Amino acid sequence: MAFDVDRLHAAIKKGDLLLVREYLASGGSLSLPDSRGWTPLAMAASRGNSVIIRVLLEAGADINEGWPDGTTPLILAAVSGSKKAVDLLLSRGAQD
């Protein structure tokens, strides 16, 4: 099954861990932004999804790569209101 980064972002928005794992297994990029400029980790952080954040980090996602304007995954996780996501990112060395 072919994947593109927009399909990955749709899976992240839905919280579909299976599709995220399939994307990663297919060798999909973790740093290519979607059509709006979001990286996969930024999207997961904005959703406060600590499970997908962990999977993306374990696959090699850049913990501080977010929006082109400099908004980091840590900031996005904080805005999402997910303490678990914020704590995970901080424990892995995220910076704001």
Q: What are the structural domains of the chain?
A: 5-91 (1.25.40.20)
pLDDT tens-digit series, residues 15-57: 999 999 998 998 888 888 888 888 899 999 999 999 999 999 9
Interatomic CA distance for residues 12 and 85, integer angstroms: 14
pLDDT in tens, 55-75: 999 999 999 987 778 899 999
Rounded to an integer, what distance in angstroms lies between the CA atom of residue 18 and that of residue 25? 10
- Buried residues in 70-83 as b, exposed as e (16+ CB within 10 A): ebbbbbbbbebebe
3-state secondary structure of 50: helix
Instruction: Classify residue 35 as exposed, middle or buried by CB count within 10 Å of its CB (0-12, 13-18, 19+).
Output: exposed
